[in-house]
A and B are shown apart, each in its own frame.
Chain A
Amino acid sequence: MLTITELNEIRARVRQHLSVRRNGNEVRIIIGGGTAAIAAGSRQLMAAALEEIALHGTANVQVSQRELDVEADEHPAVVVAINGSEVLYKRCTAAELCALISRSVLTPAANAN
């Protein structure tokens, strides 16, 4: 027999997994895509971002990719959007991105819900 507490535990766990399909997540990490970005290491940024998010186990972040409008030598770039307002970070490193994520994820304003 399943208890209501167990039901709610499953819900909390799956909600995090389903956040990928939700509109209006508070924090969106947009990693620059395209061939040049990949050559400059955007895939490593992606791996680091996913690991960092998994570490926090939060349900309010989304990671997507998009071609960002930066100069050739400014790859890899990342946009961090918190409640819709976007900030662009050029020549971003994995460590910087992880710090950004942990900061935005843990910011109470962004974490409300």
Chain B
Amino acid sequence: MPYIRSHVLICAGTGCVSSGCKAVEQAIAAEIKRHGLSHEVRVVQTGCFGFCKIGPIVMVYPESSFYCYVKPEDAEEIVQQHLLKGRLVERLLYRDVQSPKPTTFFTDIGFYKKQYRVALANCGAIDAESIEEYIGVDGYQALAKVVSSMTPAEVIHTVKASGLRGRGGGGFSTGLKWEFAAKAPGAIKYVVCNADEGDPGAFMDRSILEGDPHSIVEAMAIAGYAIGARQGYVYVRAEYPIAVNRLTIAIDQARRIGILGQGVFGSAFDFDIAIRLGAGAFVCGEETALLASIEGRRGMPKPRPPYPAIKGLWDKPTLINNVETFANIPKIILRGAEWFASMGTENSKGTKVFALAGNINNTGLVEVPMGTTLREIVYEIGGGIPNNRAFKACQTGGPSGGCLPAALLDTPIDYDSLTAVGSMMGSGGLIVMDENTCMVDVARFFLEFTQDESCGKCVPCREGTKRMLEILEDITKGHGTADDIDLLAELSTTIKGASLCGLGQTAPNPVLAALRFFRDEFDAHISDKKCPAGVCRELLTFSIIPAKCKGCTLCKKACPVGAIAGTVKTVHTIDTAKCIKCGACIPKCPFMAIVR
């Protein structure tokens, strides 16, 4: 077999596809051919590197040179300089926000230095559409080990001992859940992978399916062996076409090569997997609603118990786990429960993937050991807040969680610490907000989401979230009254206590957390009719500070409704009756004379 000396890895995850990686890939492949390097250089399409913001990303091995923002026009230089002549293309190398010096090696990049990748280990490292590359990085070895040398009870014991807890939001012990499903009576059982990923901003499950789909196939087969199931289903939203495609390819390859199907690795264990597409309703991520949807019924939650492990899909015992939970399984089997349990904190073992977003320099997917502090994630991995603005809060747990203020930046991230401070782990959304964020508005945003996504089965969730949203909207519009806070608290208690599923039970959380940590902002909106962050438009008054205005007329030209009056070299004024609060004038003033 010829020896290929260099691999050009091109990220083909959703993020880089939208920033144009396909054209880059074609251009690089064409240049390689044109320079006669086809027999010594290979182009490989991978899944997400996690740093989608700087995509399209191209990584050249063996040098581990990490090129970012690559355009098709850069292909010739990469091929001619790097691949042919052995010179790095410095202008395309990654530069940290803090330092203008290019980073030559991938592992020196601040964003990656503190990360420890277990669930994401293969994402961006292998060809996501090649079962052979997956096998080359020990893929399917865990399944082989399990069916050839472990009893189902031993597998369950290992998963239990690892301390792995569900990454889908609930944080329930994975090993215990497997044990329940294994012990449940019944000849027919199912394994289901929850890839609905409805939390706004979260995309770790999508990235795993896009970058390492075989790990999910392998983990589901291991779970099937452990609980005695022969059939698995992956429930994934149709809005994830690349993930669906890669998973389809992976299942197909695993069948064709003879891993999925009858007698896995020569054992008596049979297993196969089918995909079921969801239409992207948040509530369909809730396990009982998800199972209803797979059965072809409307996705609405059911009371539990019975839990799916006892009575799930078509009333058969069903094990349901999240994508990221499954992605940890092959590694736990191969490297051992002790290895996994050595990472993390007392009650939260291993690592967790977060989708870092919002007002932060390095947005993307980060995987860190449990117990890493918010500060480390925000400032070391995330590179801090852009434009030297101050940190105000970060939201964990998405619409079920809450915001945490700067005083809690040293909170270690694990299930219990986050719950203790009034938020939750959720599926790993981590939204950073700077001083220009209005916390009342953020609470309103999440409530708007949950009330929109409520399935309508329970009155407190259906009607209560609507009423809460109306109150919050009133507050942001300056119509808030002194009683509103008590009313919000009362509604929250009722909704949390009387809703059937997790959606309703956690929907008030963002409001409660905002009230706990940012009460002064609510008061400013209600009593002073002011939005301290300058976000809630109805509460803003645009005005010009006379002492700063030089009369340059620039703002007057920018105002779309002619609300600004003044002549050259005289102080300008804004007619608040005419002003539509669009803010177009503010950036135009060279002297920062306009305030709101």
Contacts and interface: CB of A to CB of B under 8 A. Distances in A.
A20 B7 contact: yes
Contact of A64 (B1, B63, B132, B264): B63
A49 B262 CA distance: 45
A2 interface: yes
Interface stretch (B133-141, B180-188, B566-574): B133-141
Interface stretch (B253-261, B465-473, B487-495, B578-586): B253-261
A3 B259 CA distance: 8
Interface in B7-43: 7, 9, 40
A32 B84 CA distance: 11
Nearest to A12: B136
Nearest to B105: A23
Interface string B81-103: 00011110000000000000000
A20 B85 contact: no
B266 interface: yes
A31 B6 CA distance: 13
The residue in A15, A17, A37, A53 that gathers the most chain B C-beta atoms within 10 A of its C-beta is A17
Interface string B264-280: 11100000000000000
Interface string A57-97: 10000111111000000000000000000000000000000
B183 to A, nearest CB: 29
Contacts of A14: 132-133, 135-136
Interface in B106-143: 107, 125-126, 132-133, 135-138, 140-141
B87 to A, nearest CB: 6
Contacts of A64: 5-6, 62-63, 86
B262 A1 contact: yes
B40 A7 contact: no
Interface string B518-559: 000000000000000000000000000000000000000000
Contacts of A38: 84-85
B4 A17 contact: yes
Contact of A11 (B87, B135, B258, B261): B135
Given A14-B136, A20-B4, A65 B85 contact: yes
A44 B137 CA distance: 32
Given A18-B136, A18-B137, A4 B86 contact: no
A34 B1 CA distance: 28
Given A53-B3, A64-B62, A64-B63, A7 B125 contact: no
B135 A10 contact: yes
A31 B86 contact: yes
A32 B136 CA distance: 30
Given A10-B135, A46-B40, A4 B265 contact: yes
Contacts of B144: 4, 7
Contact of A1 (B87, B125, B261): B261
Interface in B55-72: 61-64
B2 interface: yes
Contacts of B5: 20, 46, 49-50, 62-64
A20 B5 CA distance: 6
A35 interface: yes
B86 A65 contact: yes
Nearest to B82: A65
A54 B3 CA distance: 5
A67 B87 contact: yes
A67 B86 contact: yes
Contacts of B125: 21
Interface string A26-60: 00100111110110000000100111011001000
B61 A20 contact: yes
A44 to B, nearest CB: 13
B148 interface: yes
B200 interface: no
B263 interface: yes
Contacts of B3: 50-51, 53-54, 63
Contact of B140 (A1, A7, A53, A62): A7
B62 A20 contact: yes
The residue in B3, B62, B137, B257 that gathers the most chain A C-beta atoms within 10 A of its C-beta is B3
Contacts of B137: 18
Interface string B134-165: 01111011001000100000000000000000
B191 to A, nearest CB: 20
Contacts of B262: 1
B135 A63 contact: no
A61 to B, nearest CB: 8
B39 to A, nearest CB: 8
The residue in A15, A21, A28 that gathers the most chain B C-beta atoms within 10 A of its C-beta is A21
B204 to A, nearest CB: 23
A108 B64 CA distance: 27
Given A2-B259, A33-B86, A46-B5, A11 B141 contact: yes
Contacts of A50: 2-3, 5, 40
A17 B61 CA distance: 12
29 contacts: A1-B258, A1-B263, A2-B258, A4-B148, A4-B265, A7-B144, A11-B135, A11-B138, A13-B132, A14-B135, A14-B136, A18-B126, A18-B136, A18-B137, A20-B4, A20-B5, A33-B86, A34-B86, A35-B85, A46-B5, A50-B3, A50-B5, A51-B3, A53-B3, A54-B1, A63-B3, A63-B5, A63-B62, A67-B87
Minimum-distance CB pairs A-B, first 8: A33-B86, A65-B86, A14-B136, A2-B258, A54-B3, A63-B5, A53-B3, A1-B258
